Structure 1
Amino acid sequence: MATQQSFLETIKTKGNLKDLKEARHAAEVVYRSMRDVMPNEAVDRVSEELDETPDVAEDLWTDTNPLVYFLSRLRPQLDIKPENFLVRLRQEANLPGADAETIIKAVFSATKEELSQERAAEIAEYLPGEIGEFWNEA
């Protein structure tokens, strides 16, 4: 349980969020956007690697909505512009007053701590424009 809390605590602290619930919700939205720009094979490799950690990241990486999960497996990866990535977080996470860029960087930072350099480099290939830069900076 401590590792789960520390993962979310990292996001909460670095993302300037109120509580762990906000951190969890932010991570879910960022992960959904990340999965949307990645092919299923890459998503699965990330999932396999996160599955080896005793952390909450794996639980958040896999979409809990069965319909969204099913449809995402059928359609090809999406071409999302960096500004749309930010808008999705602002709209879907519903975190008033929070800075989307700071939150994305916080989720990225916590996630990269859980992944190998190989997997982190693979993710960077799929993230668009400045979102990819946020990943590299995290």
Structure 2
Amino acid sequence: MAIELKEDLAYILLKKMSDRPDSSEPLPLSLTAADFVGRNTDRTEILAHLDYMNQKGYIKADFSGDAYADSGPNPLPDNVELQSVELTPSGQDLFKRMSENPPEGLQSGPSTPIATKDMDFLKKVMLKGHISDIYDARDLTEIVFRTMRDLMTTEAAGNVASELHTSAVDTDKKAAQEEVADLWKDSNPLVRFLSQIRPKLKFDDKTFFFRIEKEGGLPKTTGPQTVVKAVFSATKEELSNERVAEIAEFMPGEVRTLWEEA
């Protein structure tokens, strides 16, 4: 699975391995939520980072389950556990270099605010999507919504719009005063019209992420999967369980996985 590698997460994982007693054999790695306070991460992302470092030769990891499946997230979060892991010489060298120049994210991560249900929709997208500008968050949200709608029937898209009536952001700036439903329906009149008359499209998860990356003008601080999951998370908080389940049926592959995990 393609990931946006976070240096602070990689450093934390390498340090946890380095801090264990010396051993000639791979050892289990004990991780707790306290190790990642303020990191805006989850089990899937941590496993993905371990998988990445394993494939790059920085660590030698033993995963249980179908860690290198031909389809779906890699490793598969629901079916995979990390049994044991050891630092390779390359990993030890990487950790030494990172220790000499620690990632900047370590200095600010623990003070990162937590997205809560009473936080404005777009601010949640900014926080979880690593987006610094409110207008970037709005534009990217609209592109994610547009790509989602293209996969859905007109009726299903209308069902979603009927439940999205909270304010997108609390602001005095008129340009940003919108309901989430306005973003869902699309601010482009032509696109909004076409969405109401066209049949649903069919494309895979790679095309979904490609569209977000190419149409969205992503900031350097983030990536398509991160943005998509951030929008998904904020959106699901606005929807009924029925709508959440309905949307899942239209989403392909890894996109559906992110929707269900968000």
TM score, norm. by length of structure 1: 0.91
1:79 maps to 202
Amino acid at match of 2:239: L
| CA-to-aligned-CA distance 1:10-32 (integer Å, 9 cap, x gap) | 00000001211111111000000
SS state at 2:239 partner: coil
Q: CA deviation at 1:72?
A: 2.1
Name whichever of 42-51 and 54-63 sits farther off.
Answer: 54-63
2:192 maps to 69
Q: Which has the higher helix share?
A: 1
1:35 maps to 149
CA distance in 2, matches of 1:29, 1:54: 18
CA distance in 1, matches of 2:167, 2:131: 23
**Greater Rg by CA:** 2
The yes-or-no answer on 1:133 pairing with 2:257 is yes
1:25 maps to 139
SS state at 1:77 partner: coil
| CA-to-aligned-CA distance 1:56-100 (integer Å, 9 cap, x gap) | 311211112121122222221000210011011001110142211
Aligned residues: 135
TM score, norm. by length of structure 2: 0.49
| Structure 1 unmatched runs, 5+ | none
Amino acid at match of 1:76: P
CA distance in 2, matches of 1:104, 1:54: 20
SS state at 1:49 partner: coil
Q: Relative CO higher for 1 or 2, CA cutoff 8 Å, sep ≥ 6? A: 1
CA distance in 2, matches of 1:4, 1:35: 26
SS state at 1:89 partner: helix
1:59 maps to 182
Amino acid at match of 1:66: P
CA distance in 2, matches of 1:63, 1:22: 15
Amino acid at match of 2:254: E
The yes-or-no answer on 1:119 pairing with 2:208 is no
2:229 maps to 105
The CA RMSD measured in Å over matched residues stands at: 1.7
Amino acid at match of 2:184: W
Does the 8 Å CA contact 2:120/2:167 hold for their aligned counterparts? no
1:44 maps to 158
Q: Which has the higher strand share?
A: 2
| Structure 2 unmatched runs, 5+ | 1-116, 169-178
